[in-house]
């Protein structure tokens, strides 16, 4: 058909120029930085796409931030020092999409592009490495260029290192993860290093042959260090830390449909909320502000801690839940007599990877000072009390319960670590102390019969043992009304145990602590 006009559909044209494979699968060009971590993150996204049948071409190169390794990030005048030059290649069509560490992106939207997807978030907490040769030093110097980490971690470490210190100060450091770890080992004046835990976890987790040398180097450095994971309630993460961002041109509807299939909405919701809060203070690496959002089945936990540009001390720790109690309830607590008596427990830690400590008293006769494994505390108060006894604590569950995943498999190099829980004998046959809880005299008589009959009381429980101590003192009629009143407690085993007793879970509310319940 000489002279006939050939008409191509957009799909046929893409196939002709190499954008589309058969069966609606595409050949996609990915851009990312060339560090070990950035390449690995690119591979994670690429694997998710190839599992759907798409082909991915990888291009890794330096960014502006990689070229300037002298200045701390917060001193650099440019926004998006790790992302801006990739933006230009994305807009020109050289790349179909860019894989970023989401925390590297400016909080302001970028014209013509959008973050279309993310994968499930890695651990958003920081990790502190401390050289074993520096233990018990009075003058402590830590590598980190982050004003946020410096502001929040100095007071935390002063209370939670297992020896008294005279001074803790931070020193600037730049470079990728292996480089910073090597600098820690080489510099005799430096005792510790703070890293994003997600970065180390990712580098250690994946069995790509090209990363084996760096994994061996990291393991060798870790062997010379003690480590701890500071709690988010004391050291909230940089907004979006631990999350990946997949950036495309806004007009690429075809890519939006593809990336929707690998997108993690929970991660996106948490990160966007963190970035929204952070942007309210101006954003940027120079800020001394951490923002954390934790999504749990009982609601979202928001933590904001630091110092605003106006000099305002920020300290928010709240649970945001759609489940609200009635406003006309009468809040009531009971007084208890509590005694704890240590017992000699036959507990061997020889083959134990992790010791979970419910209370500092639970350590009892167990020698945690010479224990070589991981010590994990129930909360920040237990951590501080154990540290005062000279125990190196690696992390804590932040009062969220023993079911809170510590996410330390990569650090200890074991997928299913053996754990021993140190608690009281009412909770475990291997308990280290006997617990007796008695309701104080006259407490039941303080209950107003009319309020109880109307089921208008709202009780808070610090433990299931307290709940049971009251329940056993009630007559049958009182029990019926009592169980149908509103009850509150923290998350974890207390919530699980009380939930199993109440006739309806609708009457049970979760709070982070008693102070939150009272307010």
Angle at 213 between CA 207 and CA 214, to 5 degrees: 85
The pLDDT value recorded for residue 7 is: 38
Q: How confident is the model at residue 491 (pLDDT cuts 50, 70, 90)?
A: very high
Average pLDDT for 165-193: 97
Q: Is the pLDDT of residue 343 over 90?
A: no
The pLDDT value recorded for residue 206 is: 87
The pLDDT value recorded for residue 193 is: 98
Q: Is the pLDDT of residue 257 over 80?
A: yes
- For every residue of 334-375, DSSP letters joined together read --EEEEEEE-------TT-SEEEESSGGGGTT---SS--SEE
Query: In angstroms, rounded to a whole number, what is the distance separating the alpha carbons of residues 103 and 88?
Result: 19
CB neighbours of 469 closer than 8 A, spacing ≥ 6? 336, 437, 438, 439
* Whole-number average pLDDT of the chain: 91
Query: In angstroms, rounded to a whole number, what is the distance separating the alpha carbons of residues 127 and 125?
Result: 7
Of residues 339 and 10, more confidently modeled:
339
Q: Residue 383 class from Cβ within 10 Å (0-12 exposed, 13-18 middle, 19+ buried)?
A: buried
Average pLDDT for 459-480: 95
Q: How confident is the model at residue 17 (pLDDT cuts 50, 70, 90)?
A: very low
The pLDDT value recorded for residue 19 is: 56
Average pLDDT for 73-97: 73
Q: How far is CA 125 from the centre of its chain?
A: 4
Q: How confident is the model at residue 290 (pLDDT cuts 50, 70, 90)?
A: very high
Q: Is the pLDDT of residue 21 over 60?
A: no
Q: How far is CA 113 from the centre of its chain?
A: 28
The pLDDT value recorded for residue 10 is: 38
Q: Is the pLDDT of residue 182 over 70?
A: yes
The pLDDT value recorded for residue 285 is: 83
Average pLDDT for 120-149: 98
- For every residue of 34-64, DSSP letters joined together read -SHHHHHHHHHHHHHHHTTT-EEEEEEE--H
Are residues 72 and 172 in contact, defined by beta-carbon separation less than 8 angstroms? yes
Query: In angstroms, rounded to a whole number, what is the distance separating the alpha carbons of residues 305 and 294?
Result: 15
376-382: long-range pairs with CB below 8 Å, 24+: 376/406, 378/402, 380/231, 380/233, 380/234, 382/357, 382/358
Instruction: Write out pLDDT tens, residues 363-376.
Output: 888 899 999 999 99
Query: In angstroms, rounded to a whole number, what is the distance separating the alpha carbons of residues 97 and 255?
Result: 9
Take residue 90 and report the two structure tokens written for it: 């994305």
Query: In angstroms, rounded to a whole number, what is the distance separating the alpha carbons of residues 395 and 202?
Result: 19
Are residues 218 and 157 in contact, defined by beta-carbon separation less than 8 angstroms? no
| β strands within 234-358, DSSP E | 244-249, 288-296, 299-307, 313-320, 330-332, 336-342, 354-357
Q: Is the pLDDT of residue 122 over 80?
A: yes
Judge if pTM exceeds 0.85.
yes
Q: Which of 484, 478, 486, 480 is nearest to 508 (CA)?
A: 486
Q: Is the pLDDT of residue 73 over 70?
A: no
Instruction: Write out pLDDT tens, residues 372-416.
Output: 999 999 999 999 999 999 999 999 999 999 999 999 999 999 999
Q: Is the pLDDT of residue 304 over 80?
A: yes
Q: Which of 212, 219, 265, 258 is nearest to 243 (CA)?
A: 265
Query: In angstroms, rounded to a whole number, what is the distance separating the alpha carbons of residues 308 and 288?
Result: 7
Are residues 78 and 50 in contact, defined by beta-carbon separation less than 8 angstroms? no
């Amino acid at each position: 058909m000489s002279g006939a006009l050939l008409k191509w559909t957009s799909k046929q044209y893409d196939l002709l120029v190499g954008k589309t494979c058969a069966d609606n699968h595409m050949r996609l060009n990915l851009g990312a930085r060339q560090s070990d971590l950035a390449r690995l993150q690119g591979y994670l996204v690429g694997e998710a796409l190839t599992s759907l049948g798409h082909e991915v071409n990888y291009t890794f190169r330096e960014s502006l931030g990689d070229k300037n390794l002298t200045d701390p990030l917060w001193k650099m005048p440019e926004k998006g020092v790790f992302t801006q030059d990739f933006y230009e290649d994305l807009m020109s069509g050289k790349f179909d999409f860019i894989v970023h560490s989401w925390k590297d992106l400016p909080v302001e939207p970028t014209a013509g592009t959008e973050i279309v997807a993310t994968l499930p978030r890695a651990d958003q907490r920081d990790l502190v490495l401390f050289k074993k040769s520096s233990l018990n030093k009075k003058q402590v110097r830590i590598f980190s260029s982050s004003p946020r980490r410096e502001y929040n971690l100095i007071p935390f470490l002063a209370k939670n290192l297992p020896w008294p210190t005279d001074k803790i100060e931070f020193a600037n450091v730049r470079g990728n993860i292996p480089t910073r770890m090597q600098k820690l080992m080489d510099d005799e004046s430096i005792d510790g290093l703070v890293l994003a835990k997600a970065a180390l976890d990712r580098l250690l987790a994946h069995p790509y042959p090209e990363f084996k040398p760096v994994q061996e180097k990291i393991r060798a450095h870790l062997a010379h260090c003690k480590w701890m994971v500071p709690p988010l309630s004391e050291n909230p993460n940089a907004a979006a830390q631990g999350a990946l961002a997949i950036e495309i041109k806004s007009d690429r509807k075809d890519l939006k449909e593809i990336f929707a299939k690998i997108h993690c909405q929970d991660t996106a919701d948490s990160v966007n909320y963190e970035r929204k809060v952070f942007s309210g203070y101006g954003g940027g690496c120079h800020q001394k502000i951490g923002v954390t959002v934790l999504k749990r089945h009982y609601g979202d936990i928001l933590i904001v801690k630091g110092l605003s540009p106006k000099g305002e001390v920020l300290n928010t720790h709240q649970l945001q839940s759609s489940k609200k109690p009635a406003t006309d309830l009468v809040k009531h607590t009971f007084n208890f007599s509590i005694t704890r008596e240590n017992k000699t427990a036959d507990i061997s830690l020889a083959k134990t990877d992790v010791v979970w400590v419910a209370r500092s008293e639970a350590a009892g006769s167990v020698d945690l000072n010479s224990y070589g494994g991981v010590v994990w505390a129930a909360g920040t108060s237990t951590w501080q009390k154990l540290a005062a006894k000279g125990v190196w604590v690696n992390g804590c569950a932040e009062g969220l319960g023993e079911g809170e995943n510590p996410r330390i498999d990569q650090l200890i190099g074991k997928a299913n670590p053996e754990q021993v829980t140190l608690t009281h004998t009412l909770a475990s046959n291997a308990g280290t102390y006997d617990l007796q809880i008695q309701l104080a005299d006259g407490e039941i008589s303080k209950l107003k019969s009319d309020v109880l009959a109307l089921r208008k009381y709202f009780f808070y429980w610090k433990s299931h043992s307290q709940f049971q101590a009251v329940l056993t003192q009630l007559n049958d009629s009182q029990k019926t009304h009592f169980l149908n009143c509103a009850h509150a407690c923290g998350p974890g085993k207390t919530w699980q145990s009380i939930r199993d007793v109440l006739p309806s879970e609708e009457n049970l509310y979760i709070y982070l602590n008693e102070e939150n319940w009272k307010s």
